[in-house]
Structure 1
């Protein structure tokens, strides 16, 4: 198995970036890297950062997961809009302005603090623990499960896609709120992407297994009772929050992503297609 953080996927994205940076006049270049939970996008982003810096391009990585709203802010959304918004995940549970502020600072050539979210505490980390992108950063890799996504048509929201939506969002308020948020501020963030790369899972069905493997690795590090560790039943419910948009991304994004890297169930690269 060749994971996407090594071999042909890393080479293909790095070569595309090298061409783009060589042909750009200067300033900040933003790469969007999208992939379902467990697809290896964070590992690929780190490998890309290392390779591009070796080639002389100062680089930084920002995960959309690090833009999640504070726990208290999501609790307020749960109270005023819909209870499911207490759980981080869907559009509407991120502080998009925070990401735009970081990009704006980097565009000015300044150093920028990059937010960090503590998933064990389910809250934003203290600013003292945020990383910093250096002044003169040339490449920002914005990675995340919904980076570059577009909203669904209203008609597509009518029918629930899983048990969570049927039982807890029968009236469609939660998914409607998320879809409207995606069509708003998130599009301003994604409009700043210069390139979009998709790590395409073979289907949503494999995502639960990938996410469970991630959790097993966490359990091995911190123990089954460690902070933030989920049971298999909790994972099964958690990923249902992501199912609708993940399926939508896998259907529509390959036709417009600059580079689509198709993965097998073992995460090995099965094919790479550049946009014509």
Structure 2
């Protein structure tokens, strides 16, 4: 009965469009949430709702009914692409359609502070959390398996990570206990990214320049193998892809400058460049994202992000 109601809502929205009371009510709530997230232009919000957010939510809802179990939606996007904002808005829309939704970031799977300190002693190149090898993969698999097993009254413990602890080094915070969701949104900067052939590193793009850089890139590529069981749990994958991956530096600088203007601490431009390039050295977008977004077996939808962070082309990888 619940499924019939959900599907009826979906088709009513499709039939009535922006004139339906349901859509107008949803739009009002989306505007409130968007404003709280720093998105203030109502016309842009309406365009995004009609062009991307609602169509994806409807698509996910229909796929969820086919599966008749928790759907795990992967969301891949680099720094500044808006993947976290997207997940929060998508969660709201899906809730309006009658679904329980939980959000999980790959950041929530970080090893504890003490575990990462020990890891850094083993590999001094892991100066920041984030690259492959800094996550608790067993914890991640346990969470995803809990979502896929049991009944709707089963309780799940979602790990959470507080980046402010230990002077910004971060550590696990108290887990969030929820009932098994209808849909889990699993987002992160390399969610779904696969290892590539080692010969791809014979002439890599900058900032992978020195032999040490190449060795670090190769090690991270090898460490990706351990993440494949996690990615195997994904039912779908959306990729937020900047029209130029180097925009991440510009976006990070803009964010840090705003923080400094508000009297908060922030990184210098040189520190930002070093920070962002560190992640390019570990998993370079040209090497890992470019081939992924052309693979229809692994990616369901690609959303291009323009320099002003607006959505550009939205497309599905072509099957040959």
Aligned pair in 2 of structure 1 residues 206, 145: CA closer, same or farther (>3 Å)?
A: same
Q: How far, CA to CA, are the matches of 2:258 and 2:107 in structure 1?
A: 19
- Between the two structures, name the one with larger relative contact order (CA 8 Å, sep ≥ 6): 1
1:101 aligns with 2:166: no
1:265 aligns with 2:302: no
Number of residue pairs matched by the alignment: 264
Q: How far, CA to CA, are the matches of 1:213 and 1:7 in structure 2?
A: 28
Cα offset, 1:75, TM superposition: 2.6
2:159 to 102, 115, 125: 115
Deviations 1:246-272 (A, max 9, x none): 233431122121011112111111111
Structure 1 runs not aligned, ≥5 long = none
Alignment partner, residue 52 of structure 1: 94
Q: How does 1:114-193 map to 2 (within 5 A)?
A: 114-121=158-165, 122-127=169-174, 130-132=175-177, 134-159=178-203, 161-163=205-207, 165-166=208-209, 170=212, 172-183=214-225, 185-193=226-234
1:41 aligns with 2:86: no
Q: Which moved more, 1:138-147 or 1:12-21?
A: 12-21
Q: How far, CA to CA, are the matches of 1:174 and 1:29 in structure 2?
A: 35
Alignment partner, residue 254 of structure 1: 293
SS in 1 for 2:111: coil
Q: How far, CA to CA, are the matches of 2:142 and 2:260 in structure 1?
A: 35
Q: How far, CA to CA, are the matches of 2:89 and 2:142 in structure 1?
A: 25
Q: How does 1:227-238 map to 2 (within 5 A)?
A: 229-238=266-275
TM-score normalised according to structure 2 size = 0.75
2:279 to 231, 237, 242: 242
Alignment partner, residue 59 of structure 2: 16
SS in 2 for 1:143: strand
Alignment partner, residue 86 of structure 1: 127
CA contact 1:75–1:85 (8 Å) conserved in 2: no
CA contact 1:64–1:144 (8 Å) conserved in 2: yes
Q: How far, CA to CA, are the matches of 1:154 and 1:5 in structure 2?
A: 39
Larger Rg: 2
Cα offset, 1:160, TM superposition: 5.4
Aligned pair in 2 of structure 1 residues 148, 54: CA closer, same or farther (>3 Å)?
A: same
Q: How far, CA to CA, are the matches of 1:70 and 1:125 in structure 2?
A: 6
CA contact 1:5–1:43 (8 Å) conserved in 2: no
Q: How far, CA to CA, are the matches of 1:217 and 1:65 in structure 2?
A: 23
Q: Which runs of 4+ in 1 moved over 6 A?
A: none
Q: How far, CA to CA, are the matches of 1:5 and 1:34 in structure 2?
A: 18
Structure 2 runs not aligned, ≥5 long = 1-40
Cα offset, 1:62, TM superposition: 0.3
Alignment partner, residue 26 of structure 2: none
1:205 aligns with 2:242: no
Cα offset, 1:53, TM superposition: 1.2
CA contact 2:192–2:237 (8 Å) conserved in 1: yes
